[in-house]
Amino acid sequence: MRYIKTKYALVIVSISIISCLASCYYPEPPAPPRLVTCEMPEDYNYLDCYEILRQLSCTTELCSLYTTIWKELKIERSTLTEPYFDNHFEIVSSRIVEESSGDFFQISFRVQNDWAIAEAGDRFIIKITEGATDFPEIGLPKGDYLTKEEIAAAVDYPGFKSWIQNVPKTGPLKFSTLEEALQTLIVATNVDTMCFYNITLSISKGTLTLKAYAQYADAENECICIYRLKTIPNFS
C-alpha cells in the first residue's frame, strides 16, 4: 500500500490479490491513469541552488584544518574507506560561524552514486566561548580551538548543537537512469506524468530518495505534493 500526500486530501493507492473462487467472477478492469499537470523549466537543475555556497566557501588555514578533521571523522563514523569517500563525496562549501556560545564549523557536501546526486551538511563546535554557560560540562576547554578528539566528544554529547551524520556505504542503484526511476513513480501513483523535483539523502540509512510532483487535472486544489521512492538499497 502506498500513501500519496495531497494538499487537501490523502489519496491511497492499494493493490490487492484476490483468488477467483467462482467461475462467474469477473475482475473489474484497472482504473485508467488519472490526468495530472506539472510544469518544469527547461533549464531546471536542482543542484544550482548550492552553487552560491561554493562561492562563499572559506579558504583559510583554519577552515582547511577542520575540513581535514571533518573528513577523518566522517570516514570513521560512517565506516568508510578513504578511496570510497574520494569516489563518492565532494565538498561543496565550508565556513566558520561565530555565535554567542562559540564558533561552529559548517560544511556542505555532495554524495554521488552513478546518476543520482544529493546534498547534505554537517555542523560542529570548534571553540567554546569563555564563560559560556549553555553547554554541558564534560571537560572540554573554553576559549581554545578544539582538537579532533574533543570535537568527537562534543558531537557525541547532547546539547552542543553539533552533528557529523553517518552516511553508510550503499550498493548499486535500483534504476539505470533518472527517467526509469521517474517512470516507476508514474506507474506506482497511477497518473499519466510527473515532474522531477530533486534527490535527497537519508543520513541514517544512506539511501537516496527521488522526489517528484504533479497536480491533478480533474480535481480542484488536489495534488501529489511530494511522492517518495527510495532508489538505493542499504549496502550489505
The answer to whether residues 145 and 52 belong to one domain is: yes
The answer to whether residues 52 and 152 belong to one domain is: yes
Pick the residue with more confidence: 199 or 229?
Answer: 199
Q: How many CB atoms lie within 10 A of CB 11?
A: 18
Q: Looking at the domain assignment, is residue 20 inside a domain? A: no
Measured between alpha carbons, how far is 181 from 194 in angstroms, rounded to an integer?
11
The answer to whether residues 100 and 152 belong to one domain is: yes
Given this model, what pLDDT does residue 223 score?
Answer: 57
User: What tens digit of pLDDT does each residue of 131-180 get?
Assistant: 887 777 788 999 999 999 999 999 998 888 899 988 887 778 888 999 99
The residue with cell 572540554 is 140
The answer to whether residues 8 and 101 belong to one domain is: no
The answer to whether residues 125 and 54 belong to one domain is: yes
Measured between alpha carbons, how far is 210 from 231 in angstroms, rounded to an integer?
7
User: Among candidates 169, 191, 179, 185, which has minimal Cα distance to 230?
Assistant: 185
Last-in-domain residue among 131, 156, 181: 156
Q: Looking at the domain assignment, is residue 137 inside a domain? A: yes
Residue ranges making up the domain that contains 74: 48-156
Q: Looking at the domain assignment, is residue 108 inside a domain? A: yes
Q: Looking at the domain assignment, is residue 214 inside a domain? A: yes
Last-in-domain residue among 156, 184, 215: 156
Q: Looking at the domain assignment, is residue 235 inside a domain? A: no
Cα atoms in the Cβ-side hemisphere of radius 13 Å centred on 114: 12
The answer to whether residues 62 and 92 belong to one domain is: yes
- Indicate whether 14 pLDDT > 50: no
Last-in-domain residue among 156, 183, 213: 156
Measured between alpha carbons, how far is 107 from 57 in angstroms, rounded to an integer?
9
**Number of domains forming the structure of the chain:** 2
Q: What is the mean pLDDT of the chain?
A: 79
pTM listed for this prediction: 0.75
Q: For residue 179, what are the CA distances in angstroms to 17, 60, 172, 212, 228?
A: 29, 41, 16, 12, 15
Measured between alpha carbons, how far is 38 from 90 in angstroms, rounded to an integer?
32
